[in-house]
Structure 1
Amino acid sequence: MNKILIIGAGQLGSRHLQGALQSTLQLSITVVDPSSESLNVAKERAEQITIVNSKSKVQYIQSLPSKESFDVCIIATSAPVRAKVTASLLAENKVCYIIFEKVLFQALHEYTEVAALLKKHNVISWVNCPRRLSPSYQQIKELLNADEPLSMKVSGSGWGMACNSIHFIDLFSYLCSESNLQATESNLNAELLESKRSGFYELTGKVKFMIGKHSLELECTATDEVAIQVSVLSNSNTIKVDEIEGIINATGTSLEQKFKHEVKYQSELTGLNIDEILNTETSSLTPFKESCQLHTPMIELYLRHINNVLNKSLLACPIT
């Protein structure tokens, strides 16, 4: 039986549990969270779905296991404790594969420290930025000519720039098949918005990044209405995605087409991710090393801005 560990049973962790129970494989799933309330929510959500493999089972505990071996671990804690939890997990247990939630870590030193830990314990890991798993974005990638410079822009309102930028940075990296990200311009607004989660901030304004010859612009305004427009431009193609309406318009040198953009929920993806890892020993998710290259310029940029606004010298960027 394949052993799965889910650390963090909150909003996202409980959806990972639902997804894991959609795996075709026989799984022994352990869900860890210090909060009994969170564990109860996870139990309730697990009972809301039909388990695909009737022989799979779940247990719920409030502290990390010790002296055990796990095939796949999903670390779905909040960003401030993720590095510490990873270190504690690997100090006491054997883990083959890890899927990390994002934002990965708040402090820059944690990226190198966790990378060293993973290497020391021979753990293969990925980061859960699932837009690259979307069939419509995979279809967009097929339309693009890899030799042409790519210009991508994400604009809209209320989409959570601080916590969700990494999703679009990862998508940008996927579309241009490179990961050496550099921040090139920042026009973030001085007003910091209180995040829905206590102690965290949200950002508005505009930032720009480059990967080689390819450019990315992110822009978000502060309104309650959520709007997300993604445009992907190259010499041969103009592709526009309305993520909220679920519509894609693509025009190119020899084609014009309109098709639906459908987003799968995490509860529909985790089982597929687990099956892929256990059956093939690899994953279509973003490799940890590549994701670090995408995270660190963003964290540097946002941390510098927040410190300037607050007139502080924080070492950890308060976004999650």
Structure 2
Amino acid sequence: MNYRILIVGCGEIGARHLQGVLKSSLPLSIDVVDIDKESLTKARKLADEVTPGNGQTQVHYKVVLPEGQDYSVAIIATTSNVRLHVMRELLNSNHVTSLILEKFLFSFKDEYQKARNLLKEHSVKAYVNCPRRMNPHYQALKKELKKHANWQFSVVGNEWGLACNAVHFLDIYRYLFEEKELFILEDKELEPCIFDSKRGGYKEVFGRIMSLSKELSISCGHSEKMSLQVKLTSEHQEVLIDELAGTIEFNGDIQEIRPFETVYQSNLSYQFVEQSIQEEPMTLTPFEESADTHLALLDTLEKHFQLHGDTSRGREYQIT
């Protein structure tokens, strides 16, 4: 028996999901859906670069969302402005056991509650793809951080996309410190304007956001070159993660530099597919937790967008 898998949206991230899912050792029947035939063609070429982990695995490319199917896992990798619509169409016409959503989840704040209602109505387990939780280096670091208390967490860099990607670092912060309480973020140090994102039709911000307690700080500046570092500081230990350089530097009780490897989506997706099918604990972020994180960030950006953004678009937040 081949387990049914669905991927909706096969742009850059969707195609990488396809490559990753193909590496599963389980026999799969994968439906890949996109209204853009050119995107399907590109996804097929990338898929052809991968040797399937199971010789019985099949891939079917479609321009229309199937109906009446029973999917073990469905991945919605569309843009945020159509994600809820796709989610509704999918769940109203198919059975889905586990649903994987990409960030940024939704463009309107009220869509988060609508999504919650939809998941409850159809009894679907849902997760959000914030994959740093799946990185063995962050998993090992989480155990080491327990040796000290009162950590401060900061992200500094340039041109990495604060509005688009801050949710990834808010998520890894919550994961590392098992932070269950919602945090309130300040936007006082954001630059007083809205910038066009590198992806057409979406927006970006620059500057810094931080928690009221100052234990959490995330900043992104301007530069000709992208840079990104995660810094964790306690009374007796400092940890500096440079994901681009591929290093973790320890200063304090431990003095050491270790290699850090970014695990790309094409080497991750098969893991959560197999976890779901085999009913193992999922390493991705549960939807409810990630929705709260998204909303905390949106609450922070809301006034900023209203003051400096395109007010003609109402309450839509053009973040991808």
TM-score scaled by length of structure 1: 0.95
- Residue 162 of structure 1 is matched in structure 2 by 163
* Partners of 2:85 and 2:299 in 1: CA distance: 20
Aligned-pair CA distance for 1:312: 1.7
Aligned-pair CA distance for 1:192: 2.0
Structure 1 pair 21/214, CA: closer, same or farther in 2 (3 Å)? farther
- Residue 151 of structure 1 is matched in structure 2 by 152
CA RMSD of aligned residues (A): 1.6
One-letter amino acid of the structure 2 residue matched with residue 269 of structure 1: L
Structure 1 pair 237/12, CA: closer, same or farther in 2 (3 Å)? same
Q: Deviations over 1:226-267 (max 9, x none)?
A: 1001101123421111111111111343x2221011001100
- Residue 234 of structure 1 is matched in structure 2 by 234
Instruction: Say if 2:15 and 2:43, in contact at 8 Å, map to a contact too.
Output: yes
Aligned-pair CA distance for 1:8: 0.4
Instruction: Say if 1:176 and 1:214, in contact at 8 Å, map to a contact too.
Output: no
One-letter amino acid of the structure 2 residue matched with residue 201 of structure 1: K
* Partners of 2:119 and 2:147 in 1: CA distance: 32
Q: Deviations over 1:172-225 (max 9, x none)?
A: 001110243323321111232211222111110010126xx7821011112231
Structure 1 pair 39/45, CA: closer, same or farther in 2 (3 Å)? same
Structure 1 pair 265/311, CA: closer, same or farther in 2 (3 Å)? closer
Once superposed, which parts of structure 1, at least 4 consecutive aligned residues long, lie more than 4 Å away?
Answer: none
One-letter amino acid of the structure 1 residue matched with residue 12 of structure 2: Q
Decide which of 180, 193, 196 is 1:194's aligned counterpart: 196
Q: Superposition pairs for residues 49-198 of structure 1, below 5 Å?
A: 49-145=50-146, 148-186=149-187, 187-198=189-200
Q: Deviations over 1:15-72 (max 9, x none)?
A: 0000000001000000011110111111111011111111100001111111111000
Range that drifts further, 269-278 or 32-41 = 269-278
One-letter amino acid of the structure 2 residue matched with residue 18 of structure 1: Q
- Residue 275 of structure 2 is matched in structure 1 by 276
* Partners of 1:135 and 1:257 in 2: CA distance: 18
Decide which of 208, 216, 219 is 2:210's aligned counterpart: 208
Instruction: Say if 1:194 and 1:200, in contact at 8 Å, map to a contact too.
Output: yes
Unaligned runs of 5+ in 2: none
- What is the DSSP-based 3-state SS (H/G/I as helix, E as strand, rest coil) of the residue aligned with 1:23? coil
Q: Superposition pairs for residues 287-302 of structure 1, below 5 Å?
A: 287-302=286-301
Instruction: Say if 1:146 and 1:176, in contact at 8 Å, map to a contact too.
Output: no
* Partners of 2:243 and 2:182 in 1: CA distance: 24
Unaligned runs of 5+ in 1: none
Q: Deviations over 1:116-159 (max 9, x none)?
A: 11111110011000111111111211111287222100001011
Aligned-pair CA distance for 1:315: 1.1
- What is the DSSP-based 3-state SS (H/G/I as helix, E as strand, rest coil) of the residue aligned with 1:58? strand
- Residue 37 of structure 1 is matched in structure 2 by 38
Number of matched pairs: 317
One-letter amino acid of the structure 2 residue matched with residue 308 of structure 1: L
Matched, 1:267 2:266: yes
One-letter amino acid of the structure 2 residue matched with residue 316 of structure 1: E
Aligned-pair CA distance for 1:164: 0.6
* Partners of 1:95 and 1:282 in 2: CA distance: 18
